[in-house]
Amino acid sequence: MNEILVAAKIISLEVNKAGIGGDILGLTGSINVHGEEVQKLDEFANSTFVHILSKSGTVCAITSEEMEKPVIIPEKKAGKYVFVMDPLDGSSNIDVNVSIGTIFSIYRKITPGSLVAETDLLQKGADQVAGGYIVYGSSTMLIYSSGSGVHGFTLDPSIGEFFLSHPDMKIPKQGNIYSVNEGNQLIWDSKQINLINYFKQIDERTKRPYKARYIGSMVSDFHRTLLKGGIFMYPKDHKNPNGKLRFAFEASPLAFIVENAGGSASTGEERILDIVPSNIHQCVPLYIGSREDVKTAESFLKD
């Protein structure tokens, strides 16, 4: 956790001065494994985490949304954990001064011996040792869980330390906000359209109509959902039959957080944390947030 905090402070500083002092905004010119243009800050965040963690003696492998293949740490410096990250989520918001973040998961190496096997890298979401995220927003916050409660820490930039500001966070049982890229409506199936229409209907008892909020940085949309309740969705559509969000780097760590805060996360048909991915870059549809709202989504989406 200490190594993660050091990386977070370095990235936070860089994000806060983006636009001045150096050439850090904009594209690198390369395309990542998901076919997305890589921003300079994506690359900076990725290499900062890899650099710090690979020398920490605590991890044996690092997988990242920005790297096609895992980094395997040489045996001499390897530890017993696998670190999984989306180093800078919400890339399309970097250049417009909107909150972005880092999402991470930590798994224990499960195979004996020094070799890192595929089964170490492709573990069930529920087997995380810890999951969390850092949001670089109006303040920089770390939210994490190691399986007993969710705790939030805010960076005091004047002394460079994180302080416990949000102990034992709980998500409201039901919210009144839905969060989804509604521009995709014409490529959704009818179940998804019916679900959104349900949230828009008027019914005082169930707090409808819900408000619509969509930042387009999952980490920021999720942070609001955790604090205020409601549901964040990235459904499957005709363009992305498995959704757009990555299981290991985005869905699973946030599912771990939300469940530990009393909420739930589902593909619409199954619990996210029950999934064992078949490759490190696998995508899943995602419905995450207040328990009652995710239940409502599932009732529309299950056959």
Q: Which of 121, 130, 218, 261 binds ligand FDP (CB under 6 A)?
A: 218
Options 131-139, 163-171, 216-224, 294-302: segment touching ligand FDP (CB under 6 A): 216-224
Judged by beta carbon, residue 121 or residue 245, the one nearer ligand FDP is 245
Please count the other Cβ atoms lying within 10 Å of the Cβ belonging to residue 121. Answer: 20
**Residues 254-293 close enough to bind ligand FDP by CB under 6 A:** none
Is residue 250 near ligand FDP by the rule CB under 6 A?
yes
Q: How far is the CB of 211 from ligand FDP (least distance, A)?
A: 17
DSSP per-residue letters across the chain: -HHHHHHHHHHHHHHHTTTSSSS-SSEEEEE-TTSPEEEHHHHHHHHHHHHHHHTSSSEEEEEETT-SSPEEPPGGG--SEEEEEEEEE-GGGGGGT--EEEEEEEEE--SSSSPPPHHHHS--GGG-SEEEEEEESSSEEEEEESSS--EEEEEETTTTEEEEEE-S----SS-SEEE--GGGGGGS-HHHHHHHHHHHS-BGGGTBSPEE---S-HHHHHHHHHHH--EEEE---SS-TT-SSBIIIIIHHHHHHHHHTT-EEE-SSSBGGG---SSTT-B--EEEE-HHHHHHHHHHH--
- Is the CB of 14 or the CB of 120 nearer to ligand FDP? 14
Neighbours of 58 (CB within 10 A): 18
Which of residues 192, 217, 260, 290 is near ligand FDP by CB under 6 A?
217
CA distance 135 to 101: 4
CB of 196 to ligand FDP, least distance (A): 14
In the complex with ligand FDP, the residue whose CB is nearer, 201 or 242, is: 242
Least distance from ligand FDP to the Cβ atom of residue 91, Å: 4
- Segment 89-108, which members bind ligand FDP (CB under 6 A)? 89-92
Residue 100: name the closest of 109, 91, 112 by CA: 91
* The pair of three-digit structure tokens given for residue 10, joined into one six-digit string: 């370095």
* 215/301 with CB nearer ligand FDP: 215
Which one of 76-84, 146-154, 198-206, 214-222 is the stretch in contact with ligand FDP (CB under 6 A)? 214-222
Question: Which lies closer to ligand FDP via its Cβ, residue 30 or residue 111?
Answer: 30
Q: Provide the minimum distance between the beta carbon of 244 and ligand FDP in the complex, in angstroms, as a whole number.
A: 6
Of 19-27, 52-60, 196-204, 210-218, the segment contacting ligand FDP by CB under 6 A is: 210-218
For residue 2, the minimal CB distance to ligand FDP (Å) is 26
Q: How far is the CB of 250 from ligand FDP (least distance, A)?
A: 6
Number of amino acids touching ligand FDP (CB under 6 A): 12
Pick from 238, 181, 211: nearest CA to 293? 211
Stretch that binds ligand FDP, among 117-125, 147-155, 217-225, 292-300 (CB under 6 A): 217-225
Compute the least distance from the CB of residue 202 to ligand FDP, in Å.
27
- Nearest approach in angstroms of CB 101 to ligand FDP is 8
Strand 211-212 and strand 177-179: the pairing is parallel
Interface with ligand FDP (CB under 6 A)? 89-92, 181, 216-218, 221, 244-245, 250
